[in-house]
Amino acid sequence: MAKPAPAATNRAPRVKLAGAVLSLVCLENGRQVRAKVHQLSLTGGLLQLDRPLDEGITVEVIFHVGESTVRSPARVLFPMWATQGCLQPFQFEGLSGDERSHLQADLEKLMEASCAIPIAPSTGHGSPEESGQSQELDAPPAHPVAEVDQASC
C-alpha cells in the first residue's frame, strides 16, 4: 500500500547567527555541553558543537537572543561534520506560548535589521586606488549582525 505524500510545509524563516549566541545544552543524565547557535528559527536551530550528540535524544537548550531567554526541551537531529567540530540541528519540543511569541518578536527584529543594512554596490571598475577615490575601513561592529536565510528581504 502506497503512503500518502506528505503535505507541503513552509519552512520558518531562519536567522544565521554564525555562532554569535552561546547556548547551554543540558542532557538527560545531568551533563551540560556548551554550544554556539549557528542558525535559529521558531521551530528549532543549528548548534555548533565540538562533538556530536546522539541523534533523537531530548535535551534542554538554554540561550539568550535579543530580549528573550529561551529554555526549552528540544529533540536533537542528525549531525553534520564541519571544519571545526560539527553542526547539529535541533527541533523545539516544548516552547511555551510566551517564549514562542518573545522569540518570534526578537527574530523579526533581527530579520528587519539584516534586511536594512546597506551594502555598497560594486562597480567592477578596479580598486578605489585606481579610480583616484580613497577608501576608509570601518571598524567591525561591536555586536555581530545576523544574516537572514529568507529570499524576500
pLDDT tens-place string over residues 27-44? 999 999 999 999 999 999
Residue at 139 is within a domain = no
Amino acid 32: pLDDT: 97
Q: Which three cell numbers stand for residue 40?
A: 535559529
* CB 55, CB 70: distance < 8 Å: no
Report pLDDT for 58. 97
| Closest among 74, 72, 65 to 111, alpha carbons compared | 65
For position 75, what pLDDT does the model report? 98
**Contacts (Cβ under 8 Å, ≥6 apart) of 133:** none
Domain contains 20: yes
| Residue pair 41/13 in contact by the 8 Å Cβ criterion | yes
The answer as to whether 145 is a domain residue is no
Handedness of CA 20, 24, 25, 31 (dihedral sign): positive
Does residue 130 lie within any of the structural domains? no
Consecutive sets of 10 residues in the chain, 153 residues long: mean pLDDT of each?
57 85 96 96 95 96 93 96 92 92 92 65 46 39 46 42
37 and 62 in contact (C-beta within 8 Å)?
A: no
Residues forming beta bridges with residue 58, ordered by sequence position? 75
Enclosing domain of residue 92: 14-115
Residue-level pLDDT at 103? 93
**Residue 107 within any structural domain of the chain:** yes
Q: How many Å is the Cα radius of gyration of the chain?
A: 19
Pair 150, 40: CB distance under 8 Å: no
Q: What is the pLDDT of residue 120?
A: 53
Q: Which CATH number is 77's domain given?
A: 2.40.10.220
pTM above 0.75, yes or no: no
